[in-house]
Structure 1
Amino acid sequence: MQSGILRALGAYLIWSLFPIYFKALQAIPPQEVLLHRMAWSVLFLFAILLVRRNWKWLWSALQDPTTLKTFSLSALLISANWYVYIWAVQENRVVDASLGYFINPLFNVLLGVFLLRERLRPVQWTAIALAAAGVLWLTVKAGQLPWIALSLAATFGTYGLIRKTAHLGAQEGLMVETALLFPFATALLAWLAATGQSGFVNEGWHYRSLLILAGPLTVIPLLLYASGARRIPYSLMGILQYVTPTVQFMLGVFLWHEPFNQTKLVGFSFIWLGLALYTAESLITSQLRKKPC
């Protein structure tokens, strides 16, 4: 179990430091960073599959219409999620992005209710109401929806739901998604290079190295997460997941000094209280179910 905790924690810590990585790429437009993330991820994954000699399934998966439809949708969702996140970091909106991943667990619960017909207990509804109150507060005070947070939560939550019901594992699913995106990504990258707009070509080896690093930085935490999830209880994974938005929130406020006034504090506090209530109720319920009657 200890190795599972370390692997899961390693994944969440890598994800939590993504803002530092994307900040280092501020000279590269977010859309180009996204394209490189797509391209280098599939190349890195394919190298892993070759080493493991576990690539023969890929051709049959890409020929299956159901698999293509499912993973085309998941590829679009994860691409949108990646783009919004990269843009938010480069635009100094790390705190707003962290809010999306604080909201995400409760958004997943709502997806379960409305799409999977799951039933919630009263305390869970209270937790969601508190989070909704926080979002409403931020919306009224700011004069607009916290669209970055909601976009990240919606795209990643829906993506997770699709992947939960898909028949491929984490590594295989990501391989299919990136394989579907690869032709478009490489074609657009070639067009940028041909028209003199490519940061990869124009900005020197420092940026080229960072862009190539997008492949392993995307794949490695996913593999750690998948490996850790198989070794520890799901409830513990639910607690560990808050490492990522917490660290990112602290980076935004204390390292980059993004604005976090009293208005934001009130809104975030409602959401944090809802998360704490939901997590505590889930843990207590899980422990009670384990007790012998």
Structure 2
Amino acid sequence: MTSTAPDRWGLPLGLGAFLLWGAMPLFFPLLEPAGALEIIAHRIVWSLVFCLVLLAATRSLEAFVAVLRNPRALGLFAIASALIIVNWTTYVYAVLTGHVLDAALGYFINPLLTVLLGIVVLRERLRPAQWVALGLGAAAVVVISTGVGGLPWISLVLAGAFGLYSLVKNRVGRGVDALPGLAAETAVATPFALAFLGWLAVTGAGTFSIQGTGHALLLMACGVVTGLPLLLFSAAARRLPLSVVGMLQYLTPVLQFLLGLLVFDEHMPTTRWVGFALVWVALVVLTVDATRASRAARLAAVGRTTVDPAL
């Protein structure tokens, strides 16, 4: 008899993934004086090394090779790679330049932008509550733009790049596991990253070989910092209901918000508080609506099963 009890490791794995992602603003300042582009180049290269080691250890290299031999999948992963590099670069730049709160706002906005992409790209029809949430999100951007003297471009680029990345991964990732997928994304970008790091070394602008062993090891650790939370998330997603995963995802921007406010002491004017509050209300509306829609779908499915004369 198969047990239907929830997997006791699901929640700890999910918490580990989202807490690690949320704590990343504490890691990237340790890599200075390396700039954002150098950090991203190392992140790409060492992520591929980390993935290849794990693929070899789990005897899953065949899945990675299969992706490389599939032109359509490889093309989509190349697009995903470009999008996630834009996201990574913007995020590291935000952390290194004192814009952790803007990064947090970007990840709060991301679920709203995902809904918007559903309208524009997938031609989905929205429920009234989803329109309300989008309206609140738009109002938040207007309020924050007014208060800080311009669009919160870091937040919008982060949310936009990750939203499009998620859309592409949704199309290609259904038949590819997380680890071979990440390996494929980084493999596509690695030649460019290596070329950039080589140029930095030749011109003397790189920091890998001139800032000491500790600094070099920290740059190499970018691979583990990138890959570990993704693997934890992948393991958790297979063990937890989607509704629980959806709620856990807010831990990352909440922790980033607290770090920006309390640790990095970033300025939080009244208009920014109002903007964040509007986004939080929008997320509550979106979450409540999604929960109700999911419950209604389950009840409808049970009703159909109950009256089905073929059963």
TM-score (norm 1): 0.96
The counterpart of 1:123, out of the listed 103, 120, 129, is 129
The counterpart of 2:24, out of the listed 18, 21, 41, is 18
Equivalent residue runs for 1:1-293 within 5 Å: 1=6, 2-166=8-172, 167-291=175-299, 292-293=302-303
Distance 2:68 2:296 in 1: 44
> Any idea what the Cα deviations from partners look like across 1:80-129, whole Å, max 9, x if unmatched?
10000000000010000100000001111111122112221111111111
Distance 1:230 1:52 in 2: 18
Greater C-alpha Rg: 2
Percent sequence identity is 41
Residues 55 and 180 in structure 2, CA contact (< 8 A), matched pair in contact too: no
TM-fit CA distance, 1:56: 2.3
TM-fit CA distance, 1:60: 3.6
TM-fit CA distance, 1:186: 1.5
Aligned structure 1 segments of 4 or more residues deviating by more than 6 angstroms: none
TM-fit CA distance, 1:188: 1.6
Residue identity opposite 1:170 in structure 2: A
Higher mean C-alpha displacement, 140-149 vs 252-261: 140-149
TM-fit CA distance, 1:24: 1.4
Distance 1:156 1:202 in 2: 34
Residues 64 and 181 in structure 2, CA contact (< 8 A), matched pair in contact too: no
Residue identity opposite 1:236 in structure 2: V
Distance 2:22 2:99 in 1: 14
Secondary structure, aligned partner of 1:53: coil
Distance 1:257 1:140 in 2: 22
Residue identity opposite 2:29 in structure 1: K
Gaps of 5+ in 2: 1-5, 304-311
TM-fit CA distance, 1:247: 0.4
TM-fit CA distance, 1:221: 0.6
> Any idea what the Cα deviations from partners look like across 1:26-46, whole Å, max 9, x if unmatched?
311110000000000000100
Secondary structure, aligned partner of 2:57: helix
Secondary structure, aligned partner of 2:176: coil
Residue identity opposite 2:207 in structure 1: G
> Any idea what the Cα deviations from partners look like across 1:195-235, whole Å, max 9, x if unmatched?
21111111112211111110011111101111111111111
Residue identity opposite 2:152 in structure 1: P
Compute the RMSD of aligned alpha carbons: 1.3
Secondary structure, aligned partner of 1:66: helix
Distance 1:223 1:57 in 2: 16
Residue identity opposite 1:62 in structure 2: L
Distance 2:240 2:64 in 1: 29
TM-score (norm 2): 0.91
TM-fit CA distance, 1:68: 2.3
Secondary structure, aligned partner of 1:136: helix
Higher mean C-alpha displacement, 186-195 vs 226-235: 186-195
Number of aligned pairs?
Answer: 293
